[in-house]
Amino acid sequence: MFEEIVPAKRGMYRRAAAFGIFALLMGGCTVGPKYVRPTAEAPASYKETAQNFKEAQPSDQIAKGKWWEIYDDPQLSTLEEQISVSNQSLKAEQAQFAAARAAVRIARSQSFPTVTGGISAAHYGESANRPTGTLNYQDYQLPIDVSYEPDLWGRVRRLVEANRSEAQATAADLANVLLSLQADLATDYFELRGLDAEKKLLDSTVESYEKALDLTQTRYQGGVATAVDVAQAQTQLETTRATSIDVGVNRAAFEHAIAVLVGKPASTFSLPPLSLQTPPPPVPPGVPSDLLERRPDIAAAERRVQEANAQIGVAKAAYYPTVFLSPTGGFESGALGTFIQGASGFWTLAGSAAELIFDGGQRRGVTEQARARYDNSVDTYRQTVLVAFQEVEDNLAALGILQEEAKTEAAAVAAAQRSLDLSTTRYKGGVTNYLEVTTAQSAALSDEVTALDILIRRMNASVLLIKAIGGGWDASQIPRI
């Protein structure tokens, strides 16, 4: 049985408990500035949501986390789903986030005491020729040492706050990388589909030019056309055929880029040709003030402002005394039978406090450095917000302007086709030479290629607008940690 605690020991326990309560009460003090989210100017409305931009309907809303579904392209959706599973750059960011979360656990561990324990056994045999005679005995010990630094000034809490904010910023970085990869995949995909459409157009044009060459050769053999006409038709055909072949260079590059994005070797990945035809769907940009909550890069910048603010508190805590508690206890006996008994117990309660008297201005320098880093993080946050609004406005403008350009270019394509039809009829009637036909052919093909290029640019501007407004992401998805 354990021995009854004597009054002297009871008094020591009371003093130890009182000191512990005092340390806990003092632990509520946290130095450093309280965090206030920095202000950032948000306009009342977007400047470029002009007359050509269709008001979004409820069915047009971007799917949360799966914004690409707005394009209603099953192949694009399949590819996008593979990024979060197989992309290596994203996996590297996920590892970075895991490391940041581990840093929070490391910081939190400083809020708790460190406890070490061990056990030892020894048998001592001393010289039989000692003046006091032979001494043989055993000694069994089970010591437990505790080391604890009470967080009197909130240094540890500020450190936890800083690491938690960095982990949340890293989570937002991860979301931003994912969004960027998804947008890169979509733009590469639409570029590739645009090249498929261009290839189809050029191949169709080659077929038309082959028929035109046959007609010219027939007319030449009949003495109606000249050898110059045949040469011009041949030149036009072979030039277009070479252009059609050259499309394969860029298509292969985009196909290989998509393979890397979905985490597959380029040599084992391929996409069958599929022409781009439909214009982009309407993208609801939302209210400008919502942008501050919908962009992961803005969220990451804001979290790093809080991290920098907490680091000021860590720096200011260095001005206050450091208190250590180091109680020790355990059991010690010369016989195993009485090892774990009250009479075998021993304990020591010790504490210390230290205050840095002179450091040559080091603490002041660290505090000033922390404040400067906070100011830098605020400026970075506000700059990120400005760039975000710029990107939205850029792509809203691009969509509106390209929509008007597409209408004008469509009229140019129709006019060029009418001109080609008239020139071909005039040539067949012997009114003009083949140079007029080749000029009309070049103009018609150029206008059709330009119209296709505008369509690709509209699709890319649509993707970039979705990226600029944060895709389907919002700040509520940041983990609490």
Three-state secondary structure of 143-206: EEEEEECCCCCCHHHHHHHHHHHHHHHHHHHHHHHHHHHHHHHHHHHHHHHHHHHHHHHHHHHH
pLDDT for 333 equals 82
CB 242 within 8 A of CB 444: no
Look at 58 and 265; give whichever has higher pLDDT: 265
Higher pLDDT, 333 or 223: 223
- Residue 342: closest CA among 359, 334, 330: 330
Q: What is the pLDDT of residue 304?
A: 98
Q: Which CATH number fits domain 42-111+152-320+364-477: 1.10.10.10, 3.40.50.300, 1.20.1600.10, 3.40.50.720?
A: 1.20.1600.10
Q: For 401-411, what is each residue's pLDDT tens digit? A: 999 999 999 99
Mean pLDDT of the chain: 89
Confidence of residue 198 (pLDDT cuts 50, 70, 90): very high
Which tens digit of pLDDT belongs to each residue from 332-383? Answer: 887 777 777 778 888 898 999 999 999 999 999 999 999 999 999 999 999 9
pLDDT of 459 = 97
Q: Contact, 469 vs 285, CB < 8 A? A: yes
The model's pLDDT over 146-191, given as tens digits with 9 standing for 90+, comes to 999 999 999 999 999 999 999 999 999 999 999 999 999 999 999 9
d(CA 352, CA 450): 80
What does the pLDDT look like over 102-137, one tens digit per residue? 999 999 999 999 999 888 888 777 666 666 655 677
- pTM equals 0.87
Q: Which of 14, 441, 56 is nearest to 234 (CA)?
A: 441
pLDDT, greater one: 57 or 404: 404
**Residue 381 tokens, joined:** 């946050």
How confident is residue 139, by pLDDT bands cut at 50, 70 and 90?
confident
Under DSSP, the state recorded for 224 is S
Q: Is the pLDDT reported for residue 431 higher than 80?
A: yes
Return the DSSP state at 330: E
pLDDT for residue 453 is more than 50: yes
pLDDT (0 to 100) of residue 136 = 72
**The predicted structure's pLDDT at residue 25:** 47
Q: For the residues 79-93, what does the mean pLDDT come to?
A: 95
pLDDT of res. 61: 56
pLDDT attached to residue 128: 64
Q: Which of 24-38, 128-142, 203-217, 348-362 has the lowest mean pLDDT?
A: 128-142
DSSP H or E stretch at residue 121: strand 120-125
Residue 26: is its pLDDT beyond 70? Answer: no
Can you tell me the distance from the alpha carbon of 5 to that of 343, in angstroms, rounded to the nearest whole number? Answer: 10
How long, in residues, is the chain? 481
Residue 157 buriedness (CB in 10 A; 0-12 / 13-18 / 19+): buried
